[in-house]
Amino acid sequence: MDKIICGSAIEMLGNLGSNVELVLQTGSYDISDILLPYDQNVFFADTNIGPYGDRELIVRNISNLCLVGDGNVFVTNKYRYANVITFIGCENISLNGISFGHSPEMGGCRGGVLVFKDCQNITISGCTLFGCGTIGLSVINSRQVVFNAGRITKCNSELIYLDDSEACTFENVEMIENETRSIVILHSDDISFKSCNIIRNVVSEWSSPNDPLFYIGNSSGTIVFHASNTIDFPRDQLVNVSERLVVTE
């Protein structure tokens, strides 16, 4: 695996690919208006949403990619109706010590942070997903996803969305100061939450204060919620379908 040190958004995007470790130097990486040469694997797609048609970064069919920061690296997109990065058909992706989000304004309507579709073997460690407007992390038809020692903040629709996925682990993740406390899990199995802090979240005007933390679809398998997790609202509002959630020590 090649190791490349990057100090700008242009350098980062220009070196995205398979079998590479990109070490991002301290600073902000605004990817909003970067112009890229034609590449079927790394490109910007027009969302056709919002007043101008916002653009989001697509990373497709990439394997063995590491993005590494020192905890003071910010990868941002100014376009509010776009996800910050969408990964499609990727495997062996590692994101470490990076904050991802919308800046200077929070996302709106459709502006999520990280999306993984048809992916496997994903590790997100020590990362913050912020200012998304809608969903912090979306995992769709993906396998073996680990999110640890990170944070989700400033969401207003869902903290996490899982659909048709399995073997996903969330450990030591802080979900704090969001305008939602909703985690949606559909058609998924072998999902685990351990030592997570889910605190100081408020319910937006679009939600009911009685909505549960977990909305689990009937077609889902085992969802494990360890007693080491911390929540600051009544346990009777934990889940919509109790038999789908296993609370364990």
What is the model's pLDDT at position 109?
A: 62
* Residue pLDDT, tens place only, 132-142: 778 999 999 99
Please report which confidence band the pLDDT of residue 51 belongs to, taking 50, 70 and 90 as the band edges: low
pLDDT at 107 (0 to 100)? 58
> Is the model's pLDDT at 154 over the cut of 70?
yes
* CATH superfamily entry for domain 2-248: Single-stranded right-handed beta-helix, Pectin lyase-like (2.160.20.10)
Interval 195-238: pLDDT, tens: 999 999 987 766 667 788 999 998 899 999 999 999 998 888 88
Beta strand 183-186 with 214-216 is parallel
Q: What average pLDDT does the structure give for the chain?
A: 91
pLDDT band, very low/low/confident/very high, at 48 (cuts 50, 70, 90)? low
In the structure, what pLDDT confidence band is assigned to residue 93 with cuts at 50, 70 and 90?
Answer: very high
| Region 148-165 average pLDDT | 95
| Sign of the Cα pseudo-torsion (76, 111, 212, 179, in order) | positive
Q: Compute the average pLDDT of residues 182-193.
A: 96
The residue extents of the domains of the chain are 2-248
For the chain, report the end-to-end CA distance as a whole number of angstroms.
Answer: 40
Tens digit of pLDDT for each residue in 7-36? 999 999 999 999 999 999 999 999 999 999
Whether pLDDT at 249 is above 90: no
Mean pLDDT value of segment 53-74: 94
**For the residues 149-169, what does the mean pLDDT come to?**
95
Instruction: Count Cβ atoms within 10 A of the Cβ of residue 219 and give its class: 0-12 exposed, 13-18 middle, 19 or more buried.
Output: exposed
Mean pLDDT of all residues in 78-93? 94
- Whole-number Cα distances in Å, 200 to 75, 131, 152, 175, 230: 25, 16, 12, 8, 11
